[in-house]
Amino acid sequence: MDSEEDSFVRLASPQHREDCSLEMSPERARQEIEQYKDLCSALDQDNAMLQKDKEAVEQRLQHVKKERELLQKNLKQKPPNDDKVSLQVDISIARDEKSRLTQEKQMLENKLEEMRKRILWEDPMMMLHALPERKVVFKGLTTDKEDTNKLVLTPLIRYPLSGGSALITFEKAEVAQRVIEMKEHVVELSHGEDPEDLDRCQVQVQAGPVDVLLPSALEIGLTRGSRSILVSGLPSLGIPEDILLDKLELFFSKTKNGGSEVESREFLDDCGQVVLTFTQDGVAEQLITRGQVQVPIGKTKYKLKISPYMNGDVTNLQLQPSRCTRTVLLSGIPDVLAEEPMRDALEIHFQKDSRGGGEVDVLGYVPAGRRAP
């Protein structure tokens, strides 16, 4: 809105207008007319704004008046004890709502607990913290961060070797390839001076590649024993295994210790841990939730860790042929020397560059008539 001075037109006195009319030029008159037009336009805008504000105030007054009339009407029709009845209804509704929310909260907590247990026991990654501790020595190489979820298996190859053959592994793959390409090799067994003994001092052997089947894909299914626990952290007391198992069974068979009747027990020699299986359901789960227990053995209490007992079965195994790049199979070796001299003769022969060989890493030999698993 314009200022008060701009909102009203000040008219000059008759004498002033008369004096101005005598002295005003046409150009000055046009300027005055334009100014009066601007003042008239400003007045029109002020008037429109005031009219709009007036209508808004009248509408607000009408609205307040209607609300006041409605309130008075309700007060006249409302019984004296209506407030009390309404308050009681509100309290009853609030109690019902509280009861419903309490039941819903308990139901959600139960569902959350079931889901937590299911994730804990079904997902191996989620139950890592519950697994038994075992001291290890890291002797491998570090990898990139993106490779941490990969499982790398190093197969332990057992190659059955028939009699009259040998496996020789070179330090370099190109040496093994060269020996295989030569196929037949004449191995000197002695270094006699008599030329007539050459036929009896040499043997001919055949060299060939070594192909084995290696796993290309492996899937292992893990299942948790619902009534079994794995007890780890056992102390090295030098007592017989049967006595240690008796003490553990005695402790975990008592209800006050959170256990029940023990159905079976087993000592795992490879890791020094014990598997206990109970006759009742739910006992193992409660003990695993506790995580640790104090078990008296002799005059001392030891803190033992309780973990779920997992069984692993191979559900899918895929194999593919693979060639050993540094290993050569030697066959057709006659039984003319004792085992140790023959092994030495073979290693000496295939270490010579002149024979197409090279530095030997390891050599295994099985005489004729015998077999190596």
Beta strands in 298-339 (DSSP E): 300-331
The pLDDT of residue 229 is: 92
Contact indicator for 153, 215 with CB cutoff of 8 Å: yes
The pLDDT of residue 79 is above 60: no
The pLDDT of residue 14 is: 47
Q: What is the rounded CA–CA span in Å between residue 220 and residue 226?
A: 19
195-210 pLDDT tens trace: 454 445 788 999 999 9
87-101 pLDDT tens trace: 677 777 877 778 888
Give the residue-averaged pLDDT of 122-143.
Answer: 61
Q: What is the rounded CA–CA span in Å between residue 231 and residue 293?
A: 10
- 191 — pLDDT class (breaks 50, 70, 90): low
Q: Which of 10-19, 34-43, 225-234 has the highest mean pLDDT?
A: 225-234
As a dihedral over the C-alpha atoms of residue 129, residue 132, residue 137, residue 140, rounded to 10 degrees, the angle is -50
pTM over 0.75: no
CA distances to 24, 231, 233, 268, 294 from 243, in Å: 132, 15, 17, 15, 18
Non-local (6+) Cβ contacts of 295 within 8 A are 247, 248, 251, 301, 302, 303, 304
DSSP H/E element including 241: helix 241-252
The pLDDT of residue 5 is: 44
- 81 — pLDDT class (breaks 50, 70, 90): low
CA distances to 133, 193, 237, 243 from 240, in Å: 23, 65, 9, 6
Cα–chain-centroid distance for residue 51?
A: 71
**Amino acid letter for position 57:** V
Give the residue-averaged pLDDT of 334-360.
Answer: 90
The residue among 364 and 140 whose pLDDT is bigger is 364
| Least reliable range by pLDDT among 95-104, 122-131, 322-331, 361-370 | 122-131
The pLDDT of residue 279 is above 90: yes
